[in-house]
Structure 1
Amino acid sequence: MTLARRAFAEALGTGLLVTVVVGSGIMAQRLSDDTGLRLLENSVATAAGLAVLILLLGPVSGAHFNPVITLVDWALSRHADGRTVAVYLLAQTGGAIGGAVLADLMFGLPAVTIAAHHRTGADLWLGEVVATAGLVALVFALARQGRAAAAPAAAPAAVGAYIGAAYWFTSSTSFANPAVTVGRAFTDTFAGIAPSSVPGFVAAQFVGGALGAVLVLTLYPTGESRARRS
């Protein structure tokens, strides 16, 4: 695959992921008065949508859709060069902003409405560290176990399930993605995050990514699972 095609897949996938997150949040807000029910509707749609996007675009770009995943993949495998990493990061961030705009337009809102939902504090940052570390550990553990190649449907289902669950067991509702976090600042809806809250979330996500990489190297230092060696 050419870099241009892979970058397009990353922009498209990240954008549609944000569209799913924001769009389902808007729909939930319009249909339900209970905050817990809104979160349930939002999380189920996100989990399912993410799994579908990984299946659709994974063969093209690897379906990172997340700067943390791209950077950890580069750090652990060195398969990509610096130019590829930079292009992926730009594509993911631009796609995420476009995805928020698309969701707003589909629901008859102005294309860009800067979010006013402040999400800040050590408890939420800790939630983002946990959410991102778990995501990184899952993605790269699956790869090092060989499950991603042996059972192609397992990884999308597992990643979608993890994100759906992390909506509920983390205080931050599991953004776990710097590009998605930036994109969600461009919509003043249920899934939005105020721009002033973005730096804290993004910093926590990179810390979580580093911790997740350490977990992977500790559990699977050679890239093989114990089951595969036995």
Structure 2
Amino acid sequence: MPMFSRRQVLVSEFLGTAFLLATVVGSGIMAERISGGNVGIALLGNTIPTGAVLVVLITMFGPISGAHFNPAVTLAMILNGNMKRVDGLPYVAAQLVGGIFGVLCAHLMFAEQVLQISHKARFGAGQWFSEFVATFGLVLTIFLVVKFKRDAIAMAVGLYITAAYWFTASTSFANPAVTVARALSNSFAGIAPLSVLPFILAQLIGAVAALAVFRFFEAEM
């Protein structure tokens, strides 16, 4: 595998997270505009592009940075010894900045006000538990698929997020960078700033729990 510089790795995380958020928010805006008020159709229009672009982005950037695009994944990788702690903060910074940039790009593409704050409250135990479950499943998927069938990771993650959009009450943010960035879009995909912190806490707990389960399986190998 070719060696990449730190700058190349961080640009990979930035671009991947930017494209992910441009897809999440852009497809949400498009879906809301053309769905005629049907929320189910709008959600479907938001789901399919998100799952599809994850397959593409992980295939593109996986060999460069590992294609985390997600601070919860980065945290799990550090705790499992897959990456150095000193690399964690730059990864997360690139993901956060990339996510925000992607949201701004989506607004520009759809001629929306560029700087926004979401008013969409996502609050309550069901929402928080959904984020725990969504992130738990995502991180467990990543670790187990990488362990047993590494070449299927892009498809596995894309399909998991596609499914989790529909089986979780929160529509599966499962990503602190995505959560922060979506607070800056008052669109179908948005989340009110006051809802952000509980989502992130649930996501991080889910990631740590998934790592514990992975280690349980790994101990039996």
Partner of 1:18: 21
Percent identity of equivalent pairs:
44
RMSD: 1.0
Partner of 1:227: none
Partner of 2:58: 54
Report the residue type matching 1:113 in the other structure: Q
Within 5 Å, which residues of 2 pair with 1:1-230?
A: 1-32=4-35, 33-76=37-80, 78-145=81-148, 147-148=149-150, 152=151, 154-221=152-219
1:102 aligned counterpart, secondary structure: helix
2:115 aligned counterpart, secondary structure: coil
Shift of residue 72, structure 1, vs aligned partner: 0.5
Instruction: Structure 1 unaligned segments of length 5 or more: list them.
Output: 225-230
Shift of residue 155, structure 1, vs aligned partner: 1.0
Contact 1:3 1:84 in 2 (8 A): no
Instruction: Structure 2 unaligned segments of length 5 or more: list them.
Output: none
1:91-111 CA distances to partner (integer Å, 9 max, x unpaired)?
Answer: 001101111000011000111
> In the aligned structure 1, how far is the partner of 2:102 from the partner of 2:5?
23
> In the aligned structure 2, how far is the partner of 1:134 from the partner of 1:221?
19
Contact 2:13 2:67 in 1 (8 A): yes
1:220 aligned counterpart, secondary structure: helix
Contact 2:145 2:156 in 1 (8 A): no
TM-score (norm 1): 0.92
> In the aligned structure 2, how far is the partner of 1:41 from the partner of 1:89?
28
Shift of residue 136, structure 1, vs aligned partner: 0.5
> In the aligned structure 2, how far is the partner of 1:194 from the partner of 1:58?
31
Contact 1:144 1:220 in 2 (8 A): no
Report the residue type matching 1:110 in the other structure: Q
> In the aligned structure 2, how far is the partner of 1:20 from the partner of 1:216?
30
**What is the count of residue pairs matched by the alignment?**
217
Shift of residue 81, structure 1, vs aligned partner: 2.2
Shift of residue 142, structure 1, vs aligned partner: 1.0
2:111 aligned counterpart, secondary structure: coil
1:4-35 CA distances to partner (integer Å, 9 max, x unpaired)?
Answer: 11011001101110110000000000000200
Report the residue type matching 1:67 in the other structure: P
Shift of residue 112, structure 1, vs aligned partner: 1.3
Shift of residue 39, structure 1, vs aligned partner: 0.4
> In the aligned structure 2, how far is the partner of 1:7 from the partner of 1:168?
31
> In the aligned structure 1, how far is the partner of 2:82 from the partner of 2:199?
28
